[in-house]
Amino acid sequence: MSANKWRHAMKSSNSIAARKSQPPVSTRTSVQDGRPQTTSTQPDRYSQTRSKLLRYAIILIILLVYPWTASSFFVFQIGAQSLILGIIALSLAFLAGYGGMVSLSQLTVAGIAGYATAIFGHSAVGQISLEWPWWLVSVLAMLLAVGAATLIGLVSVRTDGIYTIMITLAIGVAMFYLTQQNYTVFNGFQGFSNIFPPQFGTLNLRDPIPFYYLSLFFAVLSYAAVKYVVRTPFGVALQGTRDNTRRMRALGFNVAAHRVAAHAFAGLLAGIGGILLVWYNARISPGTIGTSALLNILIIAVIGGMRHPLGAFIGALAFVLLQNFAIDLIDRERFNLVIGGTFLLILIFSPDGLLGLWHRLRGLLHPARKQ
């Protein structure tokens, strides 16, 4: 496809997306001096942008102030864990919501980054860990995550629907058994322990408040990256492949290449989440990337809502709260029953997740906004 055709197709896609995103123009008729006067009531774009930025600023201020108003348990166990799981679920939400690809191997990619952190960095298993500098280990872990995600994309992008789900699930299960049965590299069932984030002088990132801010920084960065990418020509083309693959091929787009690139970008997000996850738990083992853990990421994304990046973090918060407080009402062994029931209720009553339910309730409370 020539460069001129590419630019023409991108301009056409962007103009179509812009026309779809514009709110409908409504009119209001009034009578002045005995003659009807028609005025436009189209919302001001500037006021809409200002309102959106104000909401983002309020949410960010709340997140920044939160650690100073909550206990260490809520800061570390609830706040930081929700942000980390939200980053990993965000990688799945990006693939499913904007690319139409439901991948169950995102936690596997995160686990590869986590194992790389343990193997190349410091851990209690001195005979395996190489004790390299943390910054080099982090970069290498993210590169391995992106590479693994790209390979998974090359295998799975030519399939659709249930076949993509089964292929990525098979890859996740294969990785689980590989880490469990290999003792030379992955230390088998025991895995690695004593994996801590770096310490800068007196600042210990393992402490609840510093680690929370570290997780918040990468969560905001990941969210902003997704919001930016989906508005680029690549993101618009990716959404086109989601909506009508045949038409995009007819226009000259390489659908497989776009999907593989989407897997690579999602792998970068999952790699960041995997490094933070291994620092959070201070250990990693095959159970970290087991089948139930793979499905938990899908549940988080669905509960929050896959059609908006914010849904991943809302779903993660709901999941972590249920995980920590549902055991006060029922036995820990029945937690899967609770989370499974919640998952079914969300699918039945709000397929768009909690975020979609909020939009519907807001539309009922403010019906004028829907006009």
Query: pLDDT for 351-366, tens place per residue?
Result: 777 877 777 777 677 6
CB 89 within 8 A of CB 301: yes
Helix (H) or strand (E) holding 193: strand 192-193
Tokens 């056409």 belong to 12
Q: What is the pTM of this model?
A: 0.84
**Predicted pLDDT of residue 32:** 47
> pLDDT averaged over consecutive 10-residue blocks of the chain (371 residues)?
49 47 46 47 66 86 94 94 96 93 93 96 92 95 96 89 90 95 93 92 90 96 95 93 90 92 96 96 94 91 87 92 79 73 79 76 62 44
Query: How many C-beta atoms lie closer than 10 Å to residue 197's C-beta?
Result: 21
Pick from 279, 272, 276, 297: nearest CA to 221? 272
CB 283 within 8 A of CB 193: yes
CB 288 within 8 A of CB 114: yes
- Using DSSP's 3-state secondary structure scheme, residue 204 falls into strand
CB 158 within 8 A of CB 164: no
**Predicted pLDDT of residue 349:** 78
Helix (H) or strand (E) holding 192: strand 192-193
Taking the C-alpha atoms of residue 271 and residue 287, their distance in angstroms, rounded to an integer, is 18
Taking the C-alpha atoms of residue 270 and residue 85, their distance in angstroms, rounded to an integer, is 9
CA atoms within 13 A on the CB side of 175: 29
Helix (H) or strand (E) holding 38: strand 35-40
Helix (H) or strand (E) holding 197: none
Tokens of 297: 């990421």
Taking the C-alpha atoms of residue 76 and residue 1, their distance in angstroms, rounded to an integer, is 50
**Number of alpha helices (DSSP H) and beta strands (DSSP E) in the chain:** 15, 6
Tokens of 189: 């069932």
Beta pairing, strands 199-200 & 27-32: unpaired
User: At residue 159, what are phi and psi to the nearest 5 degrees?
Assistant: -120, 170
What is the longest distance spanned by two Cα atoms in the chain? 92
Q: How many residues can be counted in the chain?
A: 371
181 Cβ contact partners less than 8 Å away, ≥ 6 residues apart: 188
Cα 293–chain centre separation: 15
Taking the C-alpha atoms of residue 188 and residue 180, their distance in angstroms, rounded to an integer, is 4
Q: Cα torsion for 332, 78, 362, 50, to the nearest 10°? A: -160
Taking the C-alpha atoms of residue 191 and residue 287, their distance in angstroms, rounded to an integer, is 9
51 Cβ contact partners less than 8 Å away, ≥ 6 residues apart: none
The per-residue b/e assignment along 96-105, b for 16 or more CB within 10 angstroms, e otherwise, is: bbbbbbbbbb
